Chain A
Amino acid sequence: MHNSNRGEPVDPGGSPVISVDSLAKEYRVYDKPEGLLASVTGLFHRTSRVVEALRGVSLSVGKGEFVALLGPNGAGKTTFLKLLSGIITPSRGTARVLGHVPWERADDFRRRFALVMGQRNQLWWDLPAAESFRLHKEIYRIDSARFERTRDELVDLLGVRQLMLQPVRELSLGERMKLELVAALLHEPEVLFLDEPTIGLDVVAQHLIHTFLKAVQVERRVTVVLTTHYMKDVAALCERVVVITHGSILHDGPLEEIVDRFTTHKIVTLDLDATPAPGQMERFGFPCEIRGPRVTLRIDRTRIADVLPEILRSEDVRDVSVEDVPLEEIVAELFRAAPNPSGPNPSGPKPSVVEATA
Chain B
Amino acid sequence: MSHAAPAAPSSSTPVGRPFAGLRIWFTMLAICLEERLVYRGDFIIGTLMRFLPIVTQVFLWTAVFNATSRADIAGYSRNDIVAYYLLTMVTRAFSSMPGLSGGIARSVRDGSVKKYLVQPVDYVGYLLAARIAHKLIYYIVAFLPFAGVFYVCRSYFPPVPEVGTIALYVVSLVLSFLLGFLLEATLGMLGFWFLEVSSIIFAYMLVQYLLSGHMFPIDMLADIPTGISGISAADVVRWLPFEYTAYFPAAVWLGKVQGAALFRDLAIEAAWVVVMAVACRIAWWRGTRRYSAFGG
Interface residues of A (CB under 8 A from B): 1-7, 9-10, 12, 27-28, 63, 79, 82, 85-89, 98-99, 103, 105, 107-108, 110-112, 114-115, 117, 120, 122, 124, 126-127, 131-132, 134-135, 137-143, 146, 167, 187-188, 190, 220-221
B4 and A134: CB pair below 8 A? no
A1 and B38: CB pair below 8 A? no
B294 and A1: CB pair below 8 A? no
A120-B114, A146-B11 known; A139+B293 contact, CB < 8 A: no
For window 253-296 of B, CB contacts with A under 8 Å fall at: 289, 291-296
Closest to B25 in A: A138
A10 and B117: CB pair below 8 A? no
Stretch of B27-35, B44-52, B203-211 that contacts chain A: B27-35
B120 and A146: CB pair below 8 A? no
Q: Told that A1-B2, A111-B1, A139-B120 touch, could you supply 9 new A-B pairs with CB distance under 8 A? A: A5-B2, A9-B5, A98-B5, A107-B120, A111-B3, A112-B3, A135-B28, A141-B20, A167-B38
B residues within 8 A CB of A7?
4
* Number of CB contacts from chain A to chain B under 8 A: 128
Check if B154 is an interface residue, CB within 8 A of chain A. Answer: no
B residues within 8 A CB of A99?
4
Partner of A135, one of B27, B39, B293: B27
Chain B window 103-118, contacts with chain A (Cβ cutoff 8 Å), 1 for yes, 0 for no? 0000000011011011
B residues within 8 A CB of A86?
117-118
Give the CA-CA distance A134 to B15 in the complex, in Å.
15
Closest to A108 in B: B2
B5 and A190: CB pair below 8 A? yes
| Among B12, B24, B34, B291: residue with most chain A CB under 10 A | B12
- Give the distance to chain B from A182, nearest Cβ to Cβ, in Å: 15
Closest 10 CB pairs of A and B: A88-B296, A110-B120, A6-B4, A138-B27, A138-B24, A107-B120, A143-B13, A126-B38, A89-B292, A88-B292
Give the CA-CA distance A134 to B30 in the complex, in Å.
10
B residues within 8 A CB of A127?
31, 34-35, 38
A110 and B296: CB pair below 8 A? no
Give the CA-CA distance A87 to B39 in the complex, in Å.
32
Give the CA-CA distance A34 to B1 in the complex, in Å.
52
How big is the B interface, by class? 35 or more
B4 and A124: CB pair below 8 A? no
Give the CA-CA distance A140 to B24 in the complex, in Å.
9
B residues within 8 A CB of A120?
111-112, 114-115
B8 and A188: CB pair below 8 A? yes
Give the CA-CA distance A117 to B115 in the complex, in Å.
10
B residues within 8 A CB of A2?
1-2
A residues within 8 A CB of B121?
139
Give the CA-CA distance A331 to B11 in the complex, in Å.
40
A141 and B15: CB pair below 8 A? yes
B23 and A111: CB pair below 8 A? no
Chain B window 83-124, contacts with chain A (Cβ cutoff 8 Å), 1 for yes, 0 for no? 000000000000000000000000000011011011111000
B residues within 8 A CB of A131?
31, 34
Give the CA-CA distance A61 to B13 in the complex, in Å.
27
Check if B14 is an interface residue, CB within 8 A of chain A. Answer: yes
A residues within 8 A CB of B112?
120
- Give the distance to chain A from B209, nearest Cβ to Cβ, in Å: 29
- Give the distance to chain A from B160, nearest Cβ to Cβ, in Å: 41
Partner of A82, one of B5, B13, B115, B296: B296
A residues within 8 A CB of B38?
126-127, 167
Give the CA-CA distance A115 to B31 in the complex, in Å.
22
B23 and A1: CB pair below 8 A? no
A10-B4, A135-B27 known; A140+B292 contact, CB < 8 A: no
| Among A2, A86, A112, A139: residue with most chain B CB under 10 A | A139
- Give the distance to chain A from B43, nearest Cβ to Cβ, in Å: 13
Closest to B22 in A: A138
A residues within 8 A CB of B12?
111, 140-143, 146, 187-188
Give the CA-CA distance A98 to B291 in the complex, in Å.
24
- Give the distance to chain A from B121, nearest Cβ to Cβ, in Å: 5
B115 and A27: CB pair below 8 A? no
B5 and A108: CB pair below 8 A? no
B residues within 8 A CB of A1?
1-2, 14
Give the CA-CA distance A122 to B39 in the complex, in Å.
20
- Give the distance to chain B from A133, nearest Cβ to Cβ, in Å: 11
Give the CA-CA distance A120 to B34 in the complex, in Å.
21
A residues within 8 A CB of B3?
6, 111-112
Check if B71 is an interface residue, CB within 8 A of chain A. Answer: no
Partner of B296, one of A5, A87, A114, A167: A87
- Give the distance to chain A from B294, nearest Cβ to Cβ, in Å: 7
